[in-house]
Amino acid sequence: MYLAHYRESCHNAGMQQRMRHMTLEEFDAALYALGWKVSEFCRATGLHRNTPSRWRNEGVEIPGWVPKHLGLLLELKRLHAAYLTPPKADSEGA
């Protein structure tokens, strides 16, 4: 859902070639959708644990690879749910 929204907002703004920078709200929403903490994101990506704080407190822009990386993780989560999670049994007589 986040990835689709992000792509749509970039497309609607006429930025097909160059995506806009991710906002802190979008970063937080993507982590929430993944069920991750900031510390887990840092560990998974090799970022220093203080880097996201610099984005938040010092106005440092979130690098362009971050939304791409999070978008891929969200897409993997969606695909896992769609194709690898077993369907639930019917509650009415099996």
Residue pLDDT tens, the chain, 94 long: 555 555 555 554 444 445 678 999 999 999 999 999 999 999 999 999 999 999 999 999 999 999 999 999 999 999 999 999 887 887 665 5
Kindly list the domain boundaries of the chain, sorted by start residue. 2-13+22-80
pLDDT value of position 4 = 57
pLDDT value of position 87 = 79
Distance CA 36, CA 31 (A): 5
pLDDT value of position 93 = 55
Distance CA 41, CA 43 (A): 5
Q: What is the DSSP string of the chain?
A: -HHHHHHHHHHHTT-SSSPPPPPHHHHHHHHHHHT--HHHHHHHHT--TTHHHHHHHS-PPPPTHHHHHHHHHHHHHHHIIIIISPPPPPSS--
pLDDT value of position 27 = 97
Q: Mutual orientation of helices 2-12 and 24-34 as an angle, nearest 10°?
A: 150
